[in-house]
């Protein structure tokens, strides 16, 4: 389970393992699904929490390959992390700071 290759991965067919790639059967991308096919498209999805964790892991590795791991990386991953942290901490503290508004009394 944890630390194993995906069940659909075959090294003879796919070559070296890439954690950012989905090795399952390809399906229609969400952007190309028609409204009449939407219910059947959602029914074909794997709804297990393990599938959600695998999707998040693939997205993380795609981000790593694009922004962090190149030889000539820029400051983009640092800025993305900083802005994300600011948004998360603002959302966490919103209810604490919303009562500290500046009021004009006169």
Q: What is the mean pLDDT of each run of 10 residues along the chain (106 residues)?
A: 85 93 91 94 91 93 94 94 97 86 69
Predicted pLDDT of residue 2? 76
User: What pTM did the predictor assign?
Assistant: 0.75
Predicted pLDDT of residue 106? 62
End-to-end CA distance of the chain: 66
Predicted pLDDT of residue 100? 75
Which of left, alpha, beta for 96 (phi over 0: left; psi -120 to 50: alpha)?
alpha
Q: Where are the domains of the chain?
A: 11-71
């Amino acid at each position: 389970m944890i630390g194993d290759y995906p069940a659909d991965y075959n090294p003879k067919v796919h070559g070296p393992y890439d954690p950012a790639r989905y090795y399952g059967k390809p399906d229609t991308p969400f952007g190309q699904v028609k409204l009449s096919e939407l219910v059947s498209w959602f029914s074909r999805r794997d709804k297990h929490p393990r599938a959600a964790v695998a999707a998040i892991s693939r997205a993380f590795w795609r981000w790593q390959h694009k922004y962090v791991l190149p030889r000539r990386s820029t400051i983009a991953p640092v800025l993305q992390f900083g802005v994300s942290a600011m948004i998360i901490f603002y959302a966490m503290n919103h209810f604490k700071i919303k009562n500290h508004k500046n009021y004009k009394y006169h």
